[in-house]
Amino acid sequence: MKKLLSLLLAAVLACALVGCGSADTNNDNAGIADAKELLTTVWAAHADDEKFATFGGDMDEANMTQDAPGNFGIADAEVLDSMLGYPAAEVDKIDGAASLIHMMNANTFTVGAYHVVNADDVAAVADALKENIANRQWMCGFPDKMVIVTVEDYVVAMFGAAELVDNFNAKLTGAYTAAEVVCDEALL
């Protein structure tokens, strides 16, 4: 029933946009409230048959979610690093984070979104994420690839199975016109 209502609401919204003469459904950064909303927008763009069992957020009861993105606390930089691959030494450059992780194995799919405090630091954060993820010692299987995307003052880093990463990246770049892929590499 919930899915049917969501589909009906989406159809009504699409008709309203067409009726107003607007075919552009892309968002811009002005509408992004936080990292969790960014990931939620992208996850909602996935069809039901594209989704997989996930959890979001950190282990804090207030942040942990099932089958949806969740906020990820940044107070413990070591946990942020070990769970999402965000370099602990760069934690002072962000003021918010969110995540979505494959329920069975984080190496199958993990995405973290980070709000960078100073827009001038976005490139440095993206580079630090790339280096930190590429140099990880993987356990329980190896992810196929990583992709890092910037959306204005947000950085989104994902790694895992190529098909899942590519699909999430396509939904992300389709949802936000300001999205720019800064890294799309195989992890070996």
Q: Note whether residue 6 is domain-resident.
A: no
Residue 20 forms part of a structural domain? no
Residue 18 lies in a domain: no
Task: Identify the pLDDT of residue 141.
Answer: 77
In a domain, 146, yes or no: yes
State the chain's mean pLDDT as an integer: 87
User: What is the Cα–Cα distance from 69 to 113, expressed in whole angstroms?
Assistant: 10
The per-residue pLDDT for 12 is 41
In this predicted structure, the answer to whether residue 138 has a pLDDT above a threshold of 70 is yes
Range of the domain at 102: 26-186
pLDDT of residue 26: 46
Q: Can you tell me which residue has the tokens 């100073």?
A: 118
- Residue 109 counted as domain residue: yes
Please give the average per-residue pLDDT across 122-129, as a whole number.
97
Q: Are 80 and 128 in contact (CB under 8 A)?
A: no
In a domain? residue 17: no
Q: Is 1 among the domain residues?
A: no
In order of 2, 23, 121, 156, 175, the CA distances from 91 in angstroms are 38, 38, 12, 15, 27
Q: What is the pTM of this model?
A: 0.83
Q: Which of 94, 92, 86, 39 is nearest to 63 (CA)?
A: 39
DSSP calls for the chain = -HHHHHHHHHHHHHHHHHHTT-----B-GGG--SHHHHHHHHHHTS-GGG---EEES-SSTTT-EESS-EE---S-HHHHHHHH---GGGGGGEEEEEEEEESS-TTTEEEEEEEESSGGGHHHHHHHHHHHHHT----SS--SEEEEEEETTEEEEEEE-HHHHHHHHHHHHHHBTTEEEEEEEE--
pLDDT of res. 30:
54
The model's pLDDT over 48-87, given as tens digits with 9 standing for 90+, comes to: 999 999 999 998 888 999 999 999 999 999 999 999 999 9
Q: What percent of the chain has pLDDT over 90?
A: 77
Count structural domains, the chain. 1
**pLDDT confidence of 20, banded at 50, 70, 90?**
very low
Count CB atoms within 10 A of the CB of residue 19: 8
- 143 in any annotated domain: yes
d(CA 30, CA 141): 38
